[in-house]
Structure 1
Amino acid sequence: MKLIRRICLGSALMLSSTSMLLAQKAPALDGNVPMDPKVRTGKLANGLSYYVRHNEEPKDRASFYIVQNVGAILENDNQNGLAHFLEHMAFNGTKNFPGKGVLNYLEKYGVAFGRNINAYTSTDETVYNLSDVPTSNENVLDSALLVLHDWSNYLSLDGKEIDNERGVIHEEWRTRRSGNNRVRLEKNKLIYKGSKYAERDVIGDLNVIDNFDHKVIRDFYHDWYRTDLQAIVVVGDFDAEKIEAKIKKMFAHIPAVENPKTRKYFEVPTNKEPIVGIITDPEASRINFDIIYKHQATPLAEKNMAYYRGLLISDLHSSILRNRFNELLQKGNAPFINGFAAYYNREVRMDVYHNSITLKEDNILGGIESMLSETEKANRFGVVATELERAKKAMLSRMEKQYKERNKQNNDRLAGEYQRNFLSNEPAPGIEFEFEAMKKLLPGITAEEVNAIAKTWITDDNVVITLTAPEKEGLKLPSKEELLAVVTKVKQKKLKPYVDEVITEPLIAELPKAGKIVKESNLDVYGAKEWTLSNGAKVIVKTTDFMENQILFQAFSEGGQSLYDIKDLPSAGLTAGFAPSFGIGNFDQTSLKKLLTGKEVRVSPYIGELTEGLSGNSSIQDFETLLQLAHMYFENPRFDEEAFNALKGRYRAFVANMGADVNKVFRDSVSLTSTDHNARTILFDTKMIDQLDFETMKRVYKDRIADASDFTFIFVGNIDAEKAKPMIETYLGSIKDIDRKETWKDTGVNFPKKDTYNHFSREMKTPKTTIHIDFHGDIKYTKENSIMMDMVTKLLSKRYIDVIREKEGGSYGVGVWASVDKFPRQEYKLSIQFDTDPAKADKLKGIVYSEIQDLFTKGVKLDDLNEAKKNFIKERQENLRKNTYWVNAINKHYTYNDLMMKPEVFEKMINSISKEKVEKFAKKYLAKPTKTEVVMSPKNKEI
């Protein structure tokens, strides 16, 4: 029998178990939040701050950051875009690393540009990082610090390098100017109206970028890149005391700037009347409504324990409201596509309470009213005590998981905390303090207090309302007056309090009849155990200590979508995406989420082209729940037609305007061309959504997620195999066994048999040419061939950066990727894609082809090859300490019969790759490959 408790705000019933467990003396709210005791901090005489911490994840690696309290907001009008331009120049010459010296030096040690070497600029900050730097060689550590030293005060800013970089910045601007990005920028002009934030979009003014005098950027560098606005953050597997001493010695001599300009923090003006804007763009793919209430941010000096507690309260309320939105979306004709609500800091001196939804075009005002009504309901009646307790439980559970992983925190995650501390005095007390503080603070946070604080967020003034949408014939958008009218209507609307419905029964009421492990063996190369259950299922368990409180899970079987007719493919392709919205057993999605509150566990089905299965993860203590969910997805799946119709309606609305996005049009063209327009190539569009069928999904799911004897289950993580045995026998050993032996089917979807060209043009607001080239052909699937193809990919990527990006200034970046497949047939694909100026497209396309030919005509550059080999070995060493890597390696062992190489064998193979071997391989597969070329150009005249 299903028991549902209906709890309204006025009810005296409260979930008290969590509060009783946490009832401890809370810290004084007027006190400061302490700094993480594990980090060494200080400030040099020249004003430079530093944070140094020993950390062992990843092992034998370190991350180096220089954080600049400087961004686009500090630019003069004639410098608009130069803060970001300067970020690029940091990789184009410094005192000790001339030219491309920073990249050339670090890449010799496997530290790759883009993945390990990167930077970003925003309105208020600029941050550079060198991540996963090997710590076994002290010279490399010293050099990484020297790079930060040079970035601080010794950029070359050579005139020729500046001029060369103009084209790269211009192409980055071009690539980023999508319709959705343009409406975002226009929306920001309203949110920040009257402020300098409305005038700076980071990438800047193209007229400035293309024409500024060299002195202008050098002035910006001198004025703002200075020690009192900089912090060095170094976290990694090293002697922290020694690194601190090196920083003091290396950075102390950098002179402080005399008579420095004041680093201003800009306000966003208040507004008495609502600022309302309707923004359209021909390439926008969504209809979005946002209502923002602007508030003064907490002053930097006042970020104490009271501030910290306030963060908890705002996060609790935001999570509750988002959950309410999600409940609305599960029922009938969902009023909107998705919803978001949060109170957060948006700029240094501005907090916002932000409510946002993506709308259906046939019910824009109705969707807005529905969202605003849910927000008003929470504001008028407050949150329910039971949902607050669940939110607390979930928050504490997440923090406890982090606490248990405190010795496995990633270097870059820790560096991010110290970065925020430097820039905005955000508390960085360390996970130990936060866990203890949360246990003490949460019990004292009442529904009444949360409601009182939340009521202050919705105000009559400082309101900004925006509606963004595509420009589309027949699309009727409401006026500004109608938007204001619906806001007023909801404030006067008669509403009922939210009712919290909770199912109190267990996930599995009665334990299933357990199976038995009938065979055990060891997988020595993987350090794993293989068990065969009495129902035929194979179970692989690998125990690791890479993460203290993580267990990853994957189950797979052969078959997938390949076994279905074309008419079933739309439903088969999205079955796994819909299944979680149905819930499981007696629990719909909402009640299941409530039941699992406080548990760190996730299980989701998937149905791929050739395989199907489940994937997920859990904490150690929630491992049994993970097994229960896996059991239920097999034995008691739930199919909810109302939830199906609601999600189908949301999908239909979501894809309705995707055709306006030129990038989506291009991706679809690539898909169709590369599969020779095979009828099984199903595009994610309105036609696909219209073909979705509930009964087909139900049939496909029950056919695919069935028969334990056909499945392999993998568990990797901090799992005690002996303790796991009885639970695995109970929940996996009891899954039905129908002894079905099946495999995937080769459906004949393949690349075109001859060279194929698809060149087309399209109207664009920001003209660009996008080029995609595929090389493909037959190849024997071997580990060596796969590695050699990856090696070619790395070498080409390096060449395209050097020639197309740097020398020609022709593109922001050239993507290069490749695969060697065994199933459904043994073949390879090498893909190259980039955006560029239409005037340069033919020349750059020619360079793509010529660089491939040069691999075996002019030969491989030895320095490039050695860098690639170093990167291969370094990346493999890092992967060996990741649970995800081992899950995938074990999967390949069973699906591809692909035995993983031992580290020493792998390194020997990589080191044996010679220049001649790469050239021979490239000539064999790339001299006369079959190719597919897709080029999209603008119809309109280039700007």
Structure 2
Amino acid sequence: MNLIKPFKILLLFAALPLGVFAQNIIPLDPDVRTGKLPNGFTYFIRHNEEPKNRVLMYLVNKAGSILEDEDQRGLAHFTEHMSFNGTKHFPHNQLVDYLQKAGVRFGADINAYTSFDETVYQLPIPSDNPKLLKGGLEIMRDWAQEALLDPAEIDKERGVVLEEKRLGKGAGERMRTVYWPVILQQSRYATRMPIGLDTVLNNFKRPVIARFYHDWYRPDLQALIIVGDIDVNQVEQSVKAQFSNLKNPEHEKARPQFTVPLTGKNQFVAVTDKEMTSTVMEVIIKHKAPQLKTTDDFRNNVIQLLFMEMLGARYLELSRLADPPFVNGGAGISDFIGGLDCYDASVVAKPGELEKGFKAVWRETERVKRFGFTATELQRAKAGLLTSVESSYKEQNKTNSEFYVKQYQEYFLKNTPALGIAASYKLVKNYLPGITLAEVNRLTAEYIRDTDQDVLIEAPDKDKNSLPDETIVKAWLTSVANEKLEPYKDEVSTQPLLANQPLAGKIVSTERNNDLKFTTITLSNGVKVILKPTDFKNNEIMFNAFAPGGTSIYDDADFESAAAAVGLITAGGVGNYDANQLQKFMADKESAVSPFISDRSQGISGNTTPKDLETALALTYAYFTEPRKDTAIFKGIIGKSRANLANRSDDPGSVFSDTVSAVLSNYNVRRTGPTIEKLNQVNLDRAYSIFKERFSDAGNFTFTFVGSIDTNTIKPLLEKYLGSLPSRGLHEQARDLGIHIPPGKIEKTVYKGSEPQASVMLVFSGKYDYSPESNVCMDALKEALEIRLLQRLREDESGVYTPSVSNVISKFPQSRYAFMIRFGCAPQNVDKLVASTLDEINKLRTEGPLKENVDKWRAESKTSIEPNLKTNGFWLGYINAQLQNQDDLGIINHYSAILDEVGPGDVKTMALKYLSGDNFIKIELKPEADNNTRGK
């Protein structure tokens, strides 16, 4: 599979006639209706029917934290919060309530973000409801200039924002406060992190935030983007009517453009923290970001993408050495900040091997700088890029609305042009043949320079005294520059993928399911294949295969080898190709195939295109019949894994997650966290034999293919590659290992970390009466509780940022459930918030949920399922889940009716039955200081 991710090119996609290119300037997509009102307010409106009956609305403001005065630090982000806490037409929390009743989920659908330079609000809503469409525009109008900024609501929201800030605390945040001002050259970006300062957030008064709102939330800095299944003319008239009366300030401030200066100087900064788990070193070479306005700029952008693809492939090869010199390492060109991009070379070093790891990374940078790339590398990168844009071109009439919204957002914020999918494809296809190796290699001189170079080291406290200083790092760089290096040799295999060609089987039976429009084929070796052709995408085929068994078949002594088998064996390549050869072979192909071995099954998952379907099936055949084991790769993986474990116990999050896994599995060895002892149990030969065993009996496998399938084309391929798979007639079944959440009441507190932050997990569990109806009711219970916890813990008590509720239901090996509540908070508030949570659960048990909350859940469920029914991913997941659970495939046709049947009484019954508290686990993470003060 090609590595190219041409995001910059993709952001240019829209429909654009090629005739405009004679002017060399890339104009805006003509398929979007755009305009600017007399007050300066900009709008972009486009009709798009992916998904059907849906519309996306974004309000984009060229106002972020960079514009804050000193007494406003954090208030750009706080303003975003206040837009949800009371506007002219939706006072208090009525906005969220209104949207939830319409089936729009808070956080998942309706959302917003604040960065340095912009604040963006997003709202996806059904477009086939005129009243809701009108309401959506009203919300956008309120967000633009009608936030109430009620002092009472401000005081309530302080705690929520501070809890959001608390979630970001830790080693990374502490170290960033040290190095951020250095690498940002003490620019304004260094002192305007969007989350702000506690002193401001705790103490500001309404006039201070109102000043920010008045100065910067104004029509000449705003754009409304609307893309979806709408009537463009009608929406445009509504936009003009509602947004023309927005007012700019009488004494309007100029909107400054801030930058990070290039001084020509080099800098060095090393920071340590006791909770940092690895040593990381970066060389950041800053560069003025190139403009992207003309077709010549577009061509230069293509050259940069090719450069990054080839460089990335080289570092990937380096990571696959028998003794890789680092845990992770790489380099490339990326966006920076303040009008800059950069060449960034970084390494995550093995313990005690920073010099070795860094020199290995820098050596490859030096090799590229000295010798450039090869002709065969460029040829392969060109083929991969062309395949990527060609794939997008084939899907141009099935492009999701979000794609266009993001595109117009970038156009408004950064003047990034919106180029059409068809035109972009033609430009790439036209430019690629003429791009020379010399042009690509010239980028090394442009980006890999000796000036504006920052060296950053982040490391654990305990390694502080062994870290290099600036003089030593300079010596390392000089040492590599003086090494005698050999040019890169691009070794490409000319062998076929498969060592042995398959002997085709036959289709022995075909059964049609007219209700769900799929066909079940049985092959002569017993393999079952389900084919569901769809027209959701023009160029996408997704597939999955499974058979029962998995790691459950093996004893505990073999578990570590069984669990690691897929990662170890696939890392060695497949068929005639090792991992590097396979990567090169797949460079121009749109196919990805991945074997898996889970607890109770093994199988294959993949995605491809009609053109590359045979390649995907050949890979599938190869993983079944021609897996490889590579001792060198194995040693490298184990070495990197060992290094990753060295300081794991210093990270509070890892310690907490390992504790949760251990407690919830009753300390079963298969569920406790990773250790060196477990790593030592992994045996390559045993992993290889387990992998071969799991894929030795295809007769027990069921394959499902969904997407742009031509049944006449695929059938002979199925006979050749799947009908030829080995079949032994074993029909194994997974074992019940008896691993489940222990019964009774359990409390566990982990004391780890230096920040005043706590994490809480509450778990209800036990046996479960499995049925489609019960599953839907359990989902309603989850949502009803989450709505209440959001209201109480966040809005009423200002104690958390976002509480989450989840439920896990299993049918095999036993029908069981786990109902989980998670939130982060201040350590001193844990007991109070746990008590409030349990009180809300008790209310569900005694009073039941409010009817309106059940109605919200029902509306959200129906709103979310409708577009999912038009995706290949949904149908692949649904069919596989129903088959593995031995459930009725036709239940999807009754899903809406089941939703309609659920009422508050049903949810109350579920709460009484499953949230009794008889089996209740409370696990908390608190800072070490709390443990030191216990009992004092």
**TM category, shorter:** over 0.9
Counterparts of 1:691 and 1:877 in 2: how far apart (Å)? 47
1:372 is matched with which residue? 362
Q: Given the alignment, which residue of 115, 123, 126 partners 2:116?
A: 123
Give the residue type in structure 1 aligned to 2:379.
E
Asked whether the 8 Å contact 2:659–2:672 carries over to 1, the reply is no
Corresponding residue for 1:20? none
Residues 27 and 437, structure 1, Cα contact 8 Å, conserved in 2? no
Q: Tell me which amino acid in the other structure corresponds to 1:600.
A: E
- Equivalent residue number for residue 69 of structure 1: 62
For 2:200, the aligned partner's letter is V
Q: Of 826, 831, 836, which aligns to 1:842?
A: 831
**Partner residue in 2 for 1:18:** none
Alignment pair present for 1:611 and 2:604: no
2:40 is aligned to 47
1:372-411 map, 5 Å = 372-411=362-401
Aligned with residue 133 of structure 2, among 141, 163, 170: 141
CA distance in 2, matches of 1:525, 1:809: 50
Q: What are the equivalent positions in structure 2 for 1:503-522 lying under 5 Å apart?
A: 503-508=493-498, 511-522=501-512
- What is the alpha-carbon distance in structure 2 between the residues aligned to residue 691 and residue 136 of structure 1? 58
Aligned to 1:100: 93
- 1:755 maps to a residue whose letter is K
| In 1: Cα distance, 2:829 partner to 2:890 partner | 44
Q: Name the structure 1 match of 2:705.
A: 715
What CA distance in whole angstroms lies between the structure 2 residues aligned with 1:825 and 1:473? 48
Tell me: CA distance 1:929–1:873, structure 2 relative to 1, closer, same or farther (3 Å): farther
Give the structure 2 partner of residue 158 of structure 1: 150
Post-superposition Cα deviations, 1:152-198, rounded to whole Å, max 9, x if no partner, equal 11111111111111101111111111323443454432220221111
- Residue 278 of structure 1 contacts residue 480 of structure 1 at CA under 8 Å; is this kept in 2? no
Aligned partner of 2:867 among 874, 878, 882: 878
CA separation of 1:481 and 1:941: change in aligned 2, threshold 3 A? farther
SS of 1:37's equivalent? Answer: coil
Structure 1 residues 28 and 458: CA distance shift in structure 2, 3 A = farther
Aligned equivalent of 1:294: 286
Contact 1:525 / 1:900 at 8 angstroms: preserved in 2? no
Deviating beyond 6 angstroms after TM superposition, the runs of 4 or more aligned structure 1 residues are: 25-30
Aligned to 1:698: 688
Once the two structures are TM-superposed, the CA of residue 810 in structure 1 deviates from its matched residue by 0.6
Q: 1:184 to 1:652 in 2, by over 3 A?
A: farther
Shift of 1:348: 4.2
How many angstroms apart in 2 are the aligned matches of 1:201 and 1:856?
44
Tell me how far apart the structure 1 counterparts of residues 495 and 189 of structure 2 sit (CA, whole Å). 52
Q: Which residue of 2 aligns with 1:340?
A: 330
Measured after TM superposition, the shift of residue 611 of structure 1 is: 0.7
Verify the 8 A CA contact 1:26 1:440 in the aligned structure 2. no
Deviation at 1:41, TM superposition (A): 1.3
User: Could you tell me which of 221, 233, 243 is aligned with 2:235?
Assistant: 243
How many positions carry a matched residue from both structures?
A: 915
Residue in structure 2 matched with residue 727 of structure 1 by the alignment: 717
CA distance in 2, matches of 1:910, 1:102: 24
SS at 1:639's partner residue?
coil
**How much has 1:28 moved relative to structure 2?**
6.2
Amino acid at match of 2:141: H
The one-letter amino acid of 1:213's match is: K
Q: How far is the alpha carbon of 1:854 from its aligned partner?
A: 0.6
Q: How far 1:295 sits from its partner (Å)?
A: 1.3
- State whether structure 2 residue 770 is matched by structure 1 residue 781: yes
In 1, the alpha carbon distance for the partners of 2:580 and 2:710 equals 32
1:183/1:284 contact within 8 Å kept:
no
Q: 2:330 & 2:46 partners in 1: Cα distance?
A: 36
Letter in 1 for 2:887: D
Contact 1:517–1:532 (CA<8 Å) still a contact in 2? yes
Q: Match of 1:868, as an amino acid? A: W
Amino acid at match of 1:477: L
- Give distance in 1, aligned partners of 2:464 and 2:137: 59
C-alpha distance in 2, partners of 1:617/1:100? 43
The reply to whether residue 665 of structure 1 matches residue 655 of structure 2 is yes
Offset at 1:87? Answer: 1.1
Residue in structure 2 matched with residue 631 of structure 1 by the alignment: 621
Aligned residue runs from structure 1 range 1-12, under 5 A = none
Q: Deviations over 1:636-680 (max 9, x none)?
A: 111111111112212222232222221111111111111111233
Distance in 1, matches of 2:677 and 2:76, equals 45
**Partner of residue 340 from structure 2, selected from 340, 347, 350:** 350
Change in 2 beyond 3 A, CA 1:667/1:895: same
Letter in 2 for 1:824: P
User: TM-score, normalised on structure 2?
Assistant: 0.95
Give the Cα separation in 2 of the matches to 1:894 and 1:901: 11
Range with bigger deviation, 729-738 or 567-576: 567-576
What does residue 15 of structure 2 align with?
A: none
Q: Structure 1 CA distance, aligned partners of 2:423 and 2:173?
A: 39
Structure 2, unaligned runs of 5 or more: 1-17
Output the TM-score relative to the length of structure 1: 0.95
Q: Match for residue 851 of structure 1?
A: 840
Residue identity in the other structure for 2:87: T
| Cα distance between partner residues in 2 of 1:579 and 1:183 | 38
AA at the equivalent of 1:174: R
Indicate which of 185, 193, 211 corresponds to 1:193: 185
1:555 and 1:614 in contact (8 A); partners too: yes
Structure 1 residues 885, 573: CA separation in 2 closer, same or farther (over 3 Å shift)? same
Paired amino acid for 1:528: F
Work out whether 1:864 is the aligned partner of 2:816: no
- Give the distance between the partners of 2:653 and 2:600, measured in 1 at CA: 27
- 1:552 correspondence with 2:542: yes
1:114 maps onto 2:103 in alignment? no
Please report the RMSD computed on the Cα atoms of aligned residues, expressed in angstroms. 1.8
Shift of 1:272: 3.6
In structure 1, the residue corresponding to 2:922 is in which secondary structure?
strand
What's 2:670 paired with? Answer: 680
Structure 2 distance, partners of 1:905, 1:28, is: 53
Residues 225 and 531 of structure 1, relative CA distance in 2, 3 Å threshold: same
Deviation at 1:509, TM superposition (A): 6.1
744, 755, 758: which one pairs with 1:754?
Answer: 744
Q: Deviations over 1:116-150 (max 9, x none)?
A: 1011111111111012x111101111111111111
- Tell me which amino acid in the other structure corresponds to 2:430: K
Instruction: Give the letter aligned to residue 791 of structure 2.
Output: D
Give the counterpart letter for 1:137 in structure 2.
N
Contact 2:189-2:338 at 8 Å conserved across structures: no
Cα distance per residue 1:226-265 (max 9 Å; x no partner): 1111111111111122222221221111112233211111
Q: Would the alpha carbon gap of residues 190 and 700 (structure 1) be closer, same or farther in structure 2, given more than 3 Å must change?
A: farther
Residues 758/510 of structure 1: CA separation in 2 closer, same or farther (3 Å cut): closer
User: Alpha-carbon deviations, 1:44-86, whole Å to 9, x = none?
Assistant: 1111111111111112111110111111111111111111111
CA distance in 1, matches of 2:750, 2:710: 58
1:892 aligns with 2:881: yes
User: Counterpart amino acid of 2:226?
Assistant: V
State the SS of the aligned residue for 1:583. coil
AA aligned to 2:108 is R
Q: Does the CA-based 8 Å contact 2:570-2:628 persist in structure 1?
A: no
The residue matched to 1:500 in structure 2 has which SS? coil
One-letter amino acid of the counterpart of residue 635, structure 1:
T
Would the aligned equivalents of 2:768 and 2:815 in 1 still touch at CA under 8 Å? yes
Q: Secondary structure at the match of 2:466?
A: coil
* Separation (CA, whole Å) in 2 of partners of 1:473 and 1:290: 17
SS of 2:805's equivalent in the other structure is strand
Q: Give the Å deviation of 1:109.
A: 1.3
Larger displacement relative to structure 2 (104-113 or 644-653): 644-653
Which of 27, 31, 42 is 1:38 aligned to?
31
Choose the corresponding residue for 1:454, options 422, 444, 458. Answer: 444
Q: Distance in 2 between matches of 1:248 and 1:580?
A: 57
8 A Cα contact 1:49 1:228, kept in partner: yes
Provide the residue aligned with 2:5 in structure 1.
Answer: none
Aligned to 1:265: 257
SS in 2 for 1:582: coil
d(CA) in 1 for partners of 2:702, 2:32: 44
Residue identity matched to 1:286:
S
8 A Cα contact 2:883 2:889, kept in partner: no
Q: Deviations over 1:483-505 (max 9, x none)?
A: 22212222222211111111112
Partner amino acid for 2:562? A
- Deviation of the 1:525 alpha carbon: 3.9
* 1:82 maps onto 2:71 in alignment: no
1:30 CA displacement: 7.2
